[in-house]
Every structure is written in C-alpha cells, then in structure tokens.
Amino acid sequence: MTDCIFCRIVDGDLPSRTVYEDDSILAFLDANPLAPGHTLVVPKAHHERLDDLPGDLAADLFAVLYDLVSAVEDAVDADATTVGFNDGAAAGQEVPHVHGHVVPRFEGDGGGPIHAVAGSSPDLSDGELDDIAAAIGERA
Ligand code: 5GP
Ligand code: ZN
C-alpha cells in the first residue's frame, strides 16, 4: 500500500534505521523512541490488525520479537523490556500496519507496567468472570 508509512519503509521509499530483515519481517528503530533502542517489528506484507495475519506470518513475527528482545537489551544495556502491540485504533494504534514495539526499560526510568494502559479496572463478579472465560474459550 503506497499510502502506508511502514509499507513505504519496507519498499525502501522512506528511510529507516533497519536492525533486522528477512524474507517476511523487517525491524527498525522507532522515529520517536520511548527509550534508546525502541524498535518496531513489522511483517513486510501489509496487514492492519494482528487478527489479519496468516498464522505462519504471526509465528515469524513472534520469532523475530523473541530474538530482538535480548539483542536490543544487550545493545543499549537495558534492565528489562516492555513488548507490546497497539492492536486497533481504540488501543492507540496510529499506523494501521501491524507492528510490535520493543521498548527497553531501565531501573528507575519512571515508566509504568503494561497494567497502566487501561483507563480503569472493571469490578467484575464471579459470574461475569465465568461468562467471559467461557466466551473466550469457545472462540480460542
Ligand atoms: P502505534 O501508535 O501505531 O502503535 O505506533 C506507531 C509508531 O510508529 C510510533 O511509535 C511512531 O513513533 C512510529 N513511527 C511513525 N512514523 C514513523 C516513521 O516514518 N519511521 C519510523 N521509524 N517510525 C515511525
Ligand atoms: Zn502497510
């Protein structure tokens, strides 16, 4: 897709600081890093949401994320890593091309845990939790 920023990076029409590339996956530094080493990992093919990815491509994507966590931590001497996907506009996805964020974390960096992404925690009854677990289980 020519109007997609990440497709344009994949195609070489826009520059990026590439850190990893294979036949199906590209990883490059985020242009507005949350920390030194903040890296984005994308499938080369344009897919908007995680659910749109074919299973083999999702597996390729996770395999690269797995390798990059230690590579990035080592490169910037980080203490830990937050890995995340903003999957859909309501979750904060601004670029509609699947991408995983690898965000190096440092002791005392002032950031929060992934629990901080939700606005508030719902107060759910045991029955509601049972129904939700069953509904997810039927679809998984
Ligand atoms: P999202 O909010 O969609 O999960 O994150 C999109 C990310 O892409 C942001 O962290 C933003 O800084 C990054 N980004 C946006 N445009 C570019 C670009 O042209 N090049 C690079 N390297 N990163 C970009
Ligand atoms: Zn794209």
pLDDT digits (tens, 9 = 90+) for 41-89: 999 999 999 999 999 999 999 999 999 999 999 999 999 999 999 999 9
pLDDT, tens only, 26-44? 999 999 999 999 999 999 9
Known catalytic residue at 99: yes
Q: Among the options 38, 97, 99, 101, which is catalytic?
A: 99
Q: Which ligand is nearest to the CA of 27?
A: 1
User: How far apart are the CA of 30 and the centre of ligand 1, in A?
Assistant: 6
User: How far apart are the CA of 18 and the centre of ligand 1, in A?
Assistant: 14
Let me know: does 90 contact 44? Beta carbons within 8 Å.
no
DSSP string of the chain? -TT-HHHHHHTTSS---EEEE-SSEEEEE-SS-SSTT-EEEEESS--SSGGGS-HHHHHHHHHHHHHHHHHHHHHHT-SEEEEE---SGGGT--SSS--EEEEEE-TT-----GGGGSSS-----HHHHHHHHHHHHHH-
Residues lining ligand 1, judged by CB closer than 6 Å?
Answer: 5, 14, 16, 28-32, 40, 86, 92-95
Q: Over pLDDT 90: what percentage of the chain?
A: 94
Mean pLDDT of all residues in 118-123 = 90
- Is the CATH number of domain 5-139 3.30.300.30? no
